[in-house]
Amino acid sequence: MTGAQSPPPGGPALVTSRSGSVPAWFEATVEALGYDLVATLSVDEPKHGRYNLPPGLVDRLTDRIRETGAVFLGIDERLHPGQVVDLETALPSVATRDRRGVVWRRLGGVAAECLSLRDCRIERRRAARAERDSADQSPEGGGGRVAHLDRREQELRTSLDRRRQEARERVGAAYDGVDARVTVVGPPTAPTTALWAALTGETGDANGPFRPAGPTTAVTTAGPHEIALTDTPGLVEGLPDWYTGAVPATLAAVEHARAVLVVGSSGTVGPLCRAVDDRFEADTIPAVPPAGPATVAGRETVDVTDTVAVRGRLAAVLPSSRVELSLPYGDDTQALVSWLHDQTTVQDNSYDQRVTLTVALSTDRVADLERRVAAVDGECERVD
């Protein structure tokens, strides 16, 4: 029989699908859980009501589990609790996870609570079936177990709702002093962390698919803008609800972003750009390998390995202004000029009867600049 709970990582594993093929990222995720992937079995057949998988594939899986001694089965489909319990009677002893379970287990955090809730629902279905099948069922027997699991499911739902809200609030409250937030996304195995690290100078977690496990942010610059740049776990194609509900912090990072760098190959970037566009308001910038196409999904691409070009594209989509300043000489002006060199891009300057400068900065910060200039009896004028 199979079990809803997975054993400690390690040992041979199988991967299967009834949809014709298994994506490479799913196989890589099973391996990232610590298993040794020994075989992938896939067919292109319609969904089967009892198992989701067609009976012929279940028979093949039975044979391969016995041949290989597999301890884990990753199913690249969605199974409801009843289908999981039905598989228990059809397969030899092996731990199973459907697509959601594999991804949730890899992500951890809020996703781990999603997994606990699902395991509770599976266990509840198993207990209810045992109660029905028992000849001597009683309130203290199977019925008591079902009632306990019903209470446990409600506790897990309440905890999950709280964790989701807390995760969203943490992201929303962070880095509110920067000019803009930019988020890096991509498919589960895309090199988002390599780009993030190159732009920030930080060291990221690029150890396999769905890494980093949660949003990771550092401050960097793009033209005159100080930006909070956030690396994220891989996004599952189509942004299905089961995934977005497990990564509330990642969703919040994209929701608060002024721009989103979409990293991947020419085949994966387009669909993900469209999915982000459909759900969020940020400007999407497709970042592809050097040999990638010039445009994807109607947008000009940027070379993901060229950090100068990436910064330039970000600066182009983030609103900025050019301002000419005329300042009197004095200690306060000297302090202001120092601040301008630190906080804006100084494009021109001269020191004659007055100190004159032309600076570029985020449009959102012009009002602050005007207050600082007025405080030293200076003058400023926007020229863009």
Give the mean model confidence (pLDDT) for residues 210-217. Answer: 95
pLDDT tens per residue across span 127-175: 999 888 874 555 554 458 999 999 999 999 999 999 999 999 999 999 9
232-282 pLDDT tens trace: 999 999 999 999 999 999 999 999 999 999 999 989 999 999 999 999 999
Per-residue pLDDT of 49-104, as tens digits, reads 999 999 999 999 999 999 999 999 999 999 999 999 999 889 999 999 999 999 99
Residue 64 in tokens:
């391969």
pLDDT attached to residue 8: 65
CATH class of 180-317: alpha beta
Q: How many Å apart are CA 348 and CA 359, to the nearest integer?
A: 7
Q: What is the rounded average pLDDT of the residues 6-26? A: 89
* From the candidate CATH numbers 3.30.460.10, 3.30.1330.10, 3.40.640.10, 3.40.50.11060, the one assigned to the domain spanning 2-107: 3.40.50.11060
pLDDT score recorded for residue 4: 46
Which helix (H) or strand (E) covers residue 42, if one does? strand 36-42
pLDDT for 1 equals 44
Percent of the chain topping pLDDT 70: 96
Task: Please classify residue 139 by burial: count the beta carbons closer than 10 Å to its beta carbon, then call 0-12 exposed, 13-18 middle and 19+ buried.
Answer: exposed
Q: What residue segments make up the domains of the chain, in order of their start?
A: 2-107, 180-317, 320-382
Helix or strand (DSSP H, E) at 66: helix 55-68
Which stretches of 191-281 are DSSP H helices? 192-200, 241-244, 248-255, 266-279
Per-residue tokens: 180: 């803009």
Q: Identical fold at 180-317 and 320-382?
A: no
- Mean pLDDT, rounded, for 107-120: 97
> How do 2-3 and 379-382 pair as beta strands?
unpaired
pTM above 0.75, yes or no: yes
Arch. (CATH architecture) of 320-382: 2-Layer Sandwich (3.30)
Per-residue pLDDT for 185 more than 90? Answer: yes
> Would you place residue 206 in the very low, low, confident or very high pLDDT band (cuts 50, 70, 90)?
confident
